[in-house]
Structure 1
């Protein structure tokens, strides 16, 4: 089993951090070409892997921090399991967390994005190490995760309903959740993929600044609105 990434997306200039992404079921590296290209354009290197072991090993060897594990679908379960085993990353991003690993999604349940539907249709049947069924760690194990975790989940996910998924993740001590409004299972590649990528970059910038809870930018209230509120 290779520890080399199936694909690497490199920033055009200075590297601001490193992401190692673990694919989910029936996913090749091609599924994350759009995501990797967009995140790398903002300065973060992205490697795509079939297993969490390979992703963790590669991430540990990278010089550019923060080092972030990313997982989608069963890849998210694998990432969270890796985090329960020790200090393998500075943070993690999980998308489309699976609450029932036996529930296999159709393409129509995964995304409403026509471009992503085309990518899925092209790569079906391609070998993917991410096809191993992985379950979420137990709540007590999730409670031991010591790094910040960003969860991105579709508000209308028919595979892992939003309420069930967020409840399953609620034991993680440092958890931030983003809901894609009306979104389906492939939260990184659904119709809202641009907004999701932008939100991830904002979170990464906060993480890189040293405190993921401290905003880098915020909405200022114009004076006319302050006067109206008074």
Structure 2
């Protein structure tokens, strides 16, 4: 019998008007706590954040958990944010026109095959941020060899034409898990996608050295989804 994935929750500051619901799907070997810094930052901007741990442990149970979170969300819009394998599941769920998802942020989309490397090499592939590297070195937060695992067969990218909602893709230009050229070949086929390439960015792009710029880019995208028009235009 499947055990539902654990969920961590962050709400908007007391007295603030909530602006939307963000459901973050974590990648291979990641506990929800890996995204504490990211979730606190987005919740401080009055978004309700829900984080689902490693979706590869049980993709079917993770899918059910995410759909349950979507159904219970009182604050719209609902946006899925995926990291690593979580991006694959986020896009797959969003490919259902009845999903209730308004948009997807796809961060660090992986290859289907794992990186056959030792723990130190995988750590270096994930992030150069010294604060985040300390999180990654906690065995309770991350399986240090998780990136060596291939994605489960149940986790496969949907047909591009089926993802009819806006997608913000964020990828590091030195991501050694999946090259920018590899992921762009998929993103270019999506009807409503834009790709943000992060200079010197590694695989854990939500928690890499450019995490502030990445979070700011995501907030601008979220505001555009919420308002229906660009939140900021440069003259």
TM-score (norm 2): 0.83
Q: 1:40 aligns with which of 12, 31, 43?
A: 43
What SS does the aligned partner of 1:204 have?
helix
Structure 2, unaligned runs of 5 or more: 54-61
Q: Distance in 2 between matches of 1:202 and 1:181?
A: 19
Q: Distance in 1 between matches of 2:17 and 2:150?
A: 35
- CA offset digits 1:151-171 (Å, max 9, x no partner): 111011111111111112222
Tell me the residue number matched to 1:111: 127
Q: 1:27-176, aligned counterparts within 5 Å?
A: 27-50=30-53, 51-88=62-99, 89-103=101-115, 106-122=122-138, 123-125=141-143, 133-134=151-152, 135-138=155-158, 141-176=159-194
Q: Distance in 2 between matches of 1:17 and 1:169?
A: 25
Q: 1:179 aligns with which of 152, 176, 197?
A: 197
What SS does the aligned partner of 2:105 have?
strand
Q: Which protein has the larger Cα radius of gyration, Structure 1 or Structure 2?
A: 1
Deviation at 1:85, TM superposition (A): 3.3
Tell me the residue number matched to 1:215: 230
Q: Distance in 1 between matches of 2:180 and 2:112?
A: 13
Tell me the residue number matched to 1:7: 8
Q: Distance in 2 between matches of 1:6 and 1:20?
A: 10
Deviation at 1:219, TM superposition (A): 2.3
Give the root-mean-square deviation of aligned CA atoms: 2.1
Count of residues in correspondence between the two structures: 212
What SS does the aligned partner of 1:63 have?
coil
Deviation at 1:30, TM superposition (A): 1.1
Deviation at 1:205, TM superposition (A): 0.4
Equivalent pair of 1:19/1:59 in contact (CA under 8 Å): no
Deviation at 1:81, TM superposition (A): 1.4
Equivalent pair of 2:26/2:83 in contact (CA under 8 Å): yes
